[in-house]
Amino acid sequence: MSEDTDLRSPSAPGEVLSIEELPMADDRTEPYGILRDAGPVVRLKNGGFAVTSREAADHVLRNPEIFSSKQAFDTLGSPVRLLPIAFDPPDHTRYRRMLQPFFTPRTAALLEQSSRDQVGRLMDLIIDRGSCDVVADLARLFPPEVFLTLFGLPLDDRDRLLVWKDAIIAFADLSGSAEPPPQVMESAVQLFEYISAHLAECRQGRGSGLLAELFAGTGDDSLNDEEALGLCFLFILAGIDSVTSALSLMFAKLAVEPELRRQIVKDPSIISEVIEEMLRVDPANSVVPRVATRDVELHGHLIPAGSNVGVALGAANRDPAELDNPDTFDFRRKYNHLTFGGGPHRCVGVHLARMELKVVLEEWHRRIPDYELAPGARPQVNWPSGVIGISSVPVVFPPGGGTR
């Protein structure tokens, strides 16, 4: 019996599956099928569990008292606890109430023009070359600029912010069992000091951006310094990488789909729909972690207290009980996917992320409508990884943009 056949066999008592060994590199259709075929709840080789159906995923995401986000992020290799994701209600409820006014569609819209300007400046550097790496030259550089704008920090700090972020993420130890290397500790300290200095400026009324507005608007019920640092670190370590990874997956698909590109160029109004379907079919946040707070039975599996429970968003988004032909890309679908999570921990920055993705795809296809993968290129996702993305998507196009 082949290894693939073993992985695809129905979940049975004592049988285990390894998410880390799934063939994710080139396409996620087969691995998400493997997960779905194994059942709505799957025992994992590492001792944890994964939920793969929409029903089971909704149940886990909507019941933080049973499936804790706080406990799942307690061992994340971050210098501070990420806010609000590393907290459960009632603390999480308080944080969301404070943050929500700053993350509405209106506030995302206020950042749209500056975001377009930032994308435009990055594209000015590549458009005459006739080729570029969309990840290195655009998708990697744009999200940190949005973060810096949002928090009132200089755009000139982008490159060192990326160095700090990359070092921490590359060596983050999710098991909590290893000491980080010296270079990671150095990056963490430098990032901590950088954000702390900005925080002090905002406290003294000299800073600008989100923290300054948050402190001014919440009065006595304000974030303390540790909580404010946790919010910044969430956006740096999770928010920036998620948007970069999502863009890398989107451009890898668009570069080999000429008909879809032509539809976008002909009618840019479909870009939002295209983005939502891409997020459904190929989410960067493929599996989100939770920890069972007590013994619980789910779909015939006894999940002991303390067990890791991964919510396989990529598989749940393709649940055949929910959708016809769930593996088929169809941007005309109207489906409320789980890529931004669900329940109380649904992504607080969802409107900001959607704006960023939309601005990039609109500006790119307005200026470079005709492009394709560079000859010999084979973009592959980095796996296993907490956030899946592609490190390089080289493309070629007519110098100056336009069509061939």
Range scoring the smallest mean pLDDT among 76-80, 160-164, 251-255, 362-366: 76-80
Better-predicted residue by pLDDT, 76 or 363: 363
Structural contact between residues 275 and 361, judged by C-beta atoms closer than 8 angstroms: yes
The secondary structure of residue 20, as a DSSP letter, is G
- Amino acid at the residue 70: K
- Amino acid at the residue 129: R
Q: Give the Cα separation of 282 and 299 in Å (integer).
A: 26
Structural contact between residues 34 and 294, judged by C-beta atoms closer than 8 angstroms: no
Whether 77 maps to a domain, the answer reads yes
Whether 401 maps to a domain, the answer reads no
Structural contact between residues 13 and 302, judged by C-beta atoms closer than 8 angstroms: no
Q: Give residue 9's pLDDT.
A: 35
Structural contact between residues 346 and 99, judged by C-beta atoms closer than 8 angstroms: no
Structural contact between residues 268 and 366, judged by C-beta atoms closer than 8 angstroms: yes
E strand map for 1-130:
41-43, 49-51, 67-68
Whether 402 maps to a domain, the answer reads no
Name the band, by pLDDT with cuts 50, 70 and 90, for residue 79: low
What global pTM score does this model have? 0.93
The secondary structure of residue 320, as a DSSP letter, is T
Q: Is 223 strand, coil or helix?
A: coil
Tens digits of residue pLDDT in 118-154: 999 999 999 999 999 999 999 999 999 999 999 999 9
Tally of domains in the chain: 1
Whether 183 maps to a domain, the answer reads yes
Average pLDDT over residues 257-266: 97
Does residue 7 have a pLDDT over 50? no
Q: Which domain holds residue 261?
A: 3-396
Tens digits of residue pLDDT in 269-321: 999 999 999 999 999 999 999 999 999 999 999 999 999 999 999 999 999 99
Q: Give residue 186's pLDDT.
A: 87
Tens digits of residue pLDDT in 202-250: 988 888 999 998 888 655 677 888 899 999 988 988 889 999 999 999 9
Nearest 5 degrees, angle CA 381-CA 400-CA 379? 10
Average pLDDT over residues 191-210: 91
Whether 217 maps to a domain, the answer reads yes
For residue 83, the number of C-alpha atoms closer than 13 Å in the C-beta half-sphere is 21
Two tokens, residue 73: 């992020």
Whether 324 maps to a domain, the answer reads yes
Kindly state the percentage of the chain with pLDDT values over 90.
Answer: 75
Structural contact between residues 145 and 359, judged by C-beta atoms closer than 8 angstroms: no
Name the band, by pLDDT with cuts 50, 70 and 90, for residue 324: very high
Q: Give residue 223's pLDDT.
A: 87
Better-predicted residue by pLDDT, 404 or 237: 237
Range scoring the smallest mean pLDDT among 180-194, 305-319, 337-351, 358-372: 180-194
Give the pairing of strands 287-292 and 301-303.
Answer: unpaired
Whether 197 maps to a domain, the answer reads yes
- Amino acid at the residue 162: L
Two tokens, residue 372: 């394709």
CATH number, domain containing residue 175: 1.10.630.10
Structural contact between residues 368 and 401, judged by C-beta atoms closer than 8 angstroms: yes
Average pLDDT over residues 31-50: 95
Q: Give residue 218's pLDDT.
A: 59
Does residue 23 have a pLDDT over 50? yes
Q: Give residue 78's pLDDT.
A: 64
Q: Give residue 167's pLDDT.
A: 85
Structural contact between residues 47 and 308, judged by C-beta atoms closer than 8 angstroms: yes
Better-predicted residue by pLDDT, 177 or 306: 306
Whether 29 maps to a domain, the answer reads yes
Structural contact between residues 72 and 308, judged by C-beta atoms closer than 8 angstroms: yes
Residue appearing with tokens 């606890």: 81
Give the pairing of strands 308-312 and 49-51.
Answer: parallel
Does residue 106 have a pLDDT over 50? yes
Average pLDDT over residues 79-83: 82
Nearest 5 degrees, angle CA 397-CA 284-CA 19? 125
* Mean pLDDT, the chain, whole residue set: 90
